[in-house]
Amino acid sequence: MLLYTEMITAAAIVHGDSARLLHFSAAERPLALQLGGSDPDLLAAAARVGAEAGYDEINLNCGCPSDRVHAGAFGACLMQTPDRVAIASPHCASPCAFRSP
């Protein structure tokens, strides 16, 4: 069984207190970090931080229908711009897989 974090924005990880945001217990493994965002460079940076923090998978949220998330140009609205998702996906740090639903 794979456990997912709540969605955390890439900007919060890169510009905020990533140690607090990404802290987890070994009992929660395997654990996937669920990222929110639409900027490929910011997503890549957040994915690297997540991989360094020990997450087993990095997941780009392409399904959240929330109005607030949509206003930030991420979540389900990313399905309207698959090119943006395609640009972001190869930038994920190994050994994590960058997946979307």
Which residue in 94, 9, 19, 100 sits closest to 56, CA to CA? 94
The secondary structure of residue 98, as a DSSP letter, is E
Q: Could you confirm whether 96 is annotated as catalytic?
A: no
Task: Give how far Cα 97 sits from Cα of 1, 33, 44, 64, 66, Å.
Answer: 16, 11, 12, 20, 25
Q: What is the pLDDT of residue 53?
A: 96
* Per-residue pLDDT in tens (0 to 9) along the chain, 101 residues: 999 999 999 999 999 999 999 999 999 999 999 999 888 889 889 999 999 999 998 888 888 888 888 887 888 888 888 887 777 766 554 444 444 44
Count other C-beta atoms under 10 Å from residue 44's C-beta. Answer: 22
The alpha carbons of the chain give a radius of gyration, in whole angstroms, of: 12
In the set 62, 64, 77, 92, the catalytic residue is: 64
Residues linked to residue 3 through DSSP beta bridges, in sequence order: 31
SS3 content of the chain, % helix, strand, coil (to 5): 50, 15, 35
